[in-house]
Amino acid sequence: MQWSGRMTRTLTILGLESSCDDTAAAVVRQTDDEQAQILSSIVFGQTELHSAFGGVVPEIAARAHAEKLDVSVKQALTEAGVGLHDLDAIAVTAGPGLIGGVISGVMCAKGIAAGTGLPLVGVNHLAGHALTPRLTDGVAYPYLMLLVSGGHCQFLIARGPESFTRLGSTIDDAPGEAFDKTARLLGLQQPGGPSVQAEAENGDPNRYRFPRPLLDRPDCNLSFSGLKTALMRMRDQVVGEKGGLTRQDRADLCAGFQAAIVDVLREKTARAIRLYLEENPACPTVAVAGGVAANSAIRAALKQVCADNGARFLAPPLSLCTDNAAMIAYAGLERFKSGARDGMELGARPRWPLDQSSPAMLGSGKKGAKA
Amino acid sequence: MLPGPLSLTLHSPEDTADFARNLGALLVPGDCLLLEGEIGAGKTHFARSLIQSLQDMPEDVPSPTFTLVQFYETTAGELWHTDLYRLSALEEITELGLEDAFNTAICLVEWPDRLAELTPAHALRLVFATVPGDLDTRTLSLNWSDPKWTPRLNEVLND
């Protein structure tokens, strides 16, 4: 911690993230309550394209994460121009996610904390995403957050670094997964997000009509599983009639599918905004995070629904929407400022819902995947 | 005693859920169900119905495609719901810890073809298929070589 003559306080946090397909490290700094700065943000291995839509190559091996973590931390510190002695705390994703990866990150963070004497702060991966609008734009609580990615789809009201209310979520597949599976069913390239979007741009969204699941229910829950089944049937029907799919058929199927996703997200977002506005936030803000936010049709629809409801719409840059360690460092920084510290007993939680506490799976006598 | 293999027609998603609940009620740690079928054939719907029927407080059962494995504490013991679609090498299955789980947990495995020689011999194989022109119906064929499944399936089907 640095105290200057004017009694300002600067905090510098190293963040580690290895809960999903990527391994990442970053350094974030904040002076008092000024806008936080990302001094470095390293995402090891995967291309931006892959990570944008949930990744196609899972990194399961805890060993591989461990090796990449060392390299990532070193590079993050070098690019930030800081040494370990300049840090105030180590923040690490402690879940939810693939257990091998989470354990690697937690062990690496514990090692650095033990070696340097720095405090350790465990972070919920989803809280990292949910706090990103504060990292990038200094948004004030409470704001409405839509997390929409390969593995997640939920509406949250963020009230504090550890205080979230879930208004609704997918009851089955996440939209990113629906895009990937649609691409698979139509023989398009993975990841499915960009390839389905590209096809949809040349298609007629009205030729094939797909269901809008759960729109008949008044809540904010979503369902995307039935959409892929409907798409498969439509494909089989066209193939059955004509013996194959033309380019135009494929484009129209993609356009119809994307239109259904957009409609569902638009309508459920409108409902979530109305619930959020009941709280009378001074400056209503709706933010989106997750790789699916890169889809331009979805982004345009969300922007419009925010404008219609008098809320500000915020979409952080894609590199901070997808998995990264800057968000973990920042979420750790907020927890650190609120006085939170974790000891060497910090456990990895494969399941860790944001809006409720659930016990750590490891450290409570339960055995997870090999670490 | 029923001979295997066995074919069933499930006329609706509710039918599938009923079958999942009835079979789920007989599962114990060390049991493994291999769930096969094309995208949209109903594998995850079956798994979700089964898992939720074994929970005191039914919680979310998200698709495991992205996370590879989801763990649950159930009234019947620890349960692993896994989707191997994104895996490409056998070592990855070992890394996930699945081989141990086959003996210590209830395992529901989607895309089990990835298991190759690691496929547990004691598993029950369920193959789901859609029916052309019928939106809701699924056919389900069951295959097993471990005799433990015969009386259990008898019980489920005579219910």
Residues from chain A contacting residue B135 (CB–CB below 8 Å)? 233
- Residue A119 CB partners (closer than 8 Å, separation 6+): A88, A89, A90, A113, A336, A341, A342
Where residue A356 falls among pLDDT bands split at 50, 70, 90? low
Full-model pTM:
0.84
> Residues of chain A whose C-beta is under 8 A from some C-beta in B?
54, 56-58, 60-62, 96-100, 150-151, 169-174, 176-177, 180-181, 184-185, 225, 228-229, 231-233, 236, 240, 350-351, 353, 361, 366-370
Half-sphere exposure of A141 (CA within 13 A, CB side): 13
Q: Across the interface, do B95 and A176 touch by the CB < 8 Å criterion? A: no
- In chain A, what percentage of residues exceed pLDDT 90? 68
Checking if the pLDDT of A362 tops 80, the result is no
Is the CB of B135 less than 8 angstroms away from the CB of A169?
A: no
Instruction: Quote the mean pLDDT of chain B.
Output: 90
pLDDT at A58 over 60: no
How confident is the model over A91-105, as a mean pLDDT? 89
What does the mean pLDDT of chain A come to?
Answer: 88
Q: What is the pLDDT of residue A4?
A: 61
Confidence of residue A364 (pLDDT cuts 50, 70, 90): very low
The size of the A-B interface in CB pairs under 8 A is 94
- So what's the ipTM on this one? 0.76
pLDDT tens digit string along A203-220?
Answer: 999 999 999 988 888 899
Contact B87 A58 (CB under 8 A): yes
Q: A97 versus A15: which is more confidently predicted?
A: A15
Q: How close B43 gets to chain A, by Cα (Å)?
A: 11
Which of B66, B71, B95 comes nearest A150 by C-beta?
Answer: B66
pLDDT over 70 (residue A371): no
Give the pairing type, strands A89-95 and A37-44.
unpaired
Q: Chain A residue closest to B87 (CA)? A: A58
> What are the backbone angles phi and psi of residue A322, rounded to the nearest 5°?
-90, 180
Question: What distance in Å separates residue A349's CA from the closest CA in chain B?
Answer: 11
Q: Pick the residue with more confidence: B40 or A129?
A: A129
Find the mean pLDDT for residues A79-90: 97
- Could you tell me which of B30, B53, B36 has the C-alpha nearest to residue B148? B30
**Model confidence pLDDT, tens digit, residues A234-273:** 999 999 999 999 999 999 999 999 999 999 999 999 999 9
Q: Nearest CA to CA, how far is A71 from chain B (Å)?
A: 22
Place of tokens 């990835």: B114
Reported as a single tens digit per residue, the pLDDT across A288-308 is 998 898 899 999 999 999 999
Better-scored residue on pLDDT, B152 or B58: B152
Least confident residue range of A33-47, A97-111, A202-216: A33-47
* CA nearest neighbour of B107 among B57, B148, B69: B69
Partner residue opposite B66 with nearest CB, options A174, A231, A350: A174
Which amino acid appears at position A370 of this protein? K
Residue of A nearest to B72 (CA): A351
Q: In whole angstroms, give the CA distance from residue B38 to residue B45.
A: 13
Cβ neighbours of A180 in B, within 8 Å: 65
Share of chain A above pLDDT 70, in %: 89
**B24-66 confidence digits (pLDDT tens):** 999 999 999 999 998 888 999 999 999 999 998 878 788 888 7
Domains identified in chain A and CATH numbers: 2-138+322-355 (3.30.420.40), 143-319 (3.30.420.40)
Closest residue of chain A to B60, computed from CA coordinates = A171
pLDDT average, residue stretch B76-87: 91
The sheet that has A153-160: what strands, in order across it?
A: A163-169, A153-160, A143-148, A285-289, A312-314
